[in-house]
């Protein structure tokens, strides 16, 4: 038996518990991982706070979607992963655990230069960011507006856009402006007058916009400063984004999941890390038993970058 985090009811972080589970044996196409780090993401708390429904039949809910660890065992029909390999896994349902079974196809080798903590937080936010940057066709010479540039996904969007030769303007609270500048973006504070501040920072045309926060302000300003709505995307403002006829990406109603782009992003993200063009900024690390504390910090918007759970 090993420890795993579950939500025993719907509500706030107080419903999270650490329980004993049997990880089982890997089946065809699967591997068993010893998890060394698991990324914390907003989708994790949305699972039990009611954002995705409150079906009691689904309880208790295993949490987590991404992990990094060492392969303990492989199932039949696994040819490109071996016992002892260090890998990064996404999609990895139930990643808040000491051991986890995942599809071998959902893993990529972990570079030796990448820490377990950074590896555990790379792929979900990174693949989401890659989807948004790809969908908005960001390239050399573009000026891109990124809403929520200091967040887990936003910081990845900034770096990936920069790696493609774009200039980035990022919205953030004043306390996070130094952090946004360190990522390589020009920070602007959100709030009344945002469109004018963006135009002033751009000093010309804003070619694309990516919204990672989902506020009406972010989307309204995006359509005000970007001429082509096909080059505006949101990963959070599903209803308002659809009404404005911009690209809606992710797991929301009517959104484009971008499955092929996100799956292909795994190796591209690792390559960017190895090349020194992408860094996983770690906000804080917590033990599995402290998952509720990590979620409270996330819900309060207290984290710049990624929060990571360690066994």
- Are the C-beta atoms of 195 and 225 separated by less than 8 Å? yes
Same domain, 285 and 194: no
Could you list the residue range(s) of the whole structural domain that residue 244 is in? Answer: 128-248
Q: Domain of 215: which CATH number?
A: 3.40.50.720
pLDDT, tens only, 281-290: 999 999 999 9
Same domain, 99 and 148: no
pLDDT, tens only, 32-91: 999 999 999 999 999 999 988 999 999 999 999 999 999 999 999 999 999 999 999 999
The three-class DSSP label of residue 290 is helix
pLDDT, tens only, 241-253: 999 999 999 988 8
Same domain, 132 and 100: no
Is residue 302 over pLDDT 90? no
Mean pLDDT computed over 121-148? 98
Same domain, 113 and 149: no
Same domain, 33 and 75: yes
Task: Give the pLDDT of residue 262.
Answer: 96
Distance CA(228)–CA(28), nearest Å, equals 46
pLDDT, tens only, 78-134: 999 999 999 999 999 999 999 999 999 999 999 999 999 999 999 999 999 999 999
Residue 241 structure tokens: 């984004």
Same domain, 10 and 74: yes
Same domain, 160 and 227: yes
Task: Give the pLDDT of residue 51.
Answer: 87
Torsion sign, CA atoms 152, 284, 174, 163: negative
The residues, ordered by sequence, that sit 6+ positions from 276 with a Cβ below 8 Å of its Cβ are: none
Q: Using the CB atoms, write b or e for 35-72: b if 16+ within 10 Å.
A: bbbbbbbbbbbebbbeeeeeeeeeebbbbbbbbbbbbb
Task: Give the pLDDT of residue 292.
Answer: 98
> Distance of alpha carbon 43 from its chain centroid, rounded?
9
pLDDT, tens only, 172-231: 999 999 999 999 999 999 999 999 999 999 998 999 999 999 999 999 999 999 999 999
Residue 57 included in any domain: yes
Distance CA(285)–CA(84), nearest Å, equals 25
Task: Give the pLDDT of residue 251.
Answer: 85
Q: How many domains does the chain have?
A: 2
Query: Model-level pTM?
Result: 0.93
């Amino acid at each position: 038996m090993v420890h795993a985090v579950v939500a025993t009811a719907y509500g706030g972080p107080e419903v999270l518990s650490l329980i004993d589970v049997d990880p089982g044996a890997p089946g065809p196409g699967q591997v068993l991982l010893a998890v060394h780090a698991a990324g914390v993401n907003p989708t994790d708390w949305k699972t039990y706070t009611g954002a995705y429904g409150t079906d009691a039949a689904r309880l208790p809910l295993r949490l987590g979607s991404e992990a990094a660890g060492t392969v303990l065992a492989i199932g039949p029909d696994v040819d490109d992963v071996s016992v002892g390999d260090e890998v990064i896994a996404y999609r990895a349902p139930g990643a808040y655990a000491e051991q986890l079974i995942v599809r071998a196809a959902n893993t990529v080798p972990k570079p030796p230069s990448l820490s377990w903590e950074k590896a555990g937080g790379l792929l979900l936010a990174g693949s989401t960011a890659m989807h948004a940057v790809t969908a908005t066709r960001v390239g050399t010479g573009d000026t891109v507006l990124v809403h929520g540039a200091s967040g887990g996904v936003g910081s990845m969007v900034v770096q990936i856009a920069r790696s493609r030769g774009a200039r980035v303007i990022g919205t953030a609270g004043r306390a996070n402006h130094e952090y946004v500048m360190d990522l390589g973006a020009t920070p602007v504070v959100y709030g009344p007058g945002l469109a004018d501040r963006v135009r002033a920072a751009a000093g010309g045309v804003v070619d694309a916009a990516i919204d990672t926060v989902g506020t009406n302000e972010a989307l309204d300003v995006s359509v005000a400063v970007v001429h082509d709505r096909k080059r505006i995307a949101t990963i959070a403002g599903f209803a308002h984004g659809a009404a404005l006829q911009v690209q809606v990406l992710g797991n929301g109603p009517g959104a484009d999941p971008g499955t092929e782009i996100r799956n292909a992003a795994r190796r591209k993200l690792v390559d960017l890390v190895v090349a020194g063009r992408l860094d996983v900024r770690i906000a804080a690390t917590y033990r599995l038993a402290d998952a509720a504390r990590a979620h409270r910090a996330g819900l309060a918007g207290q984290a710049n970058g990624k929060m990571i759970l360690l066994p």
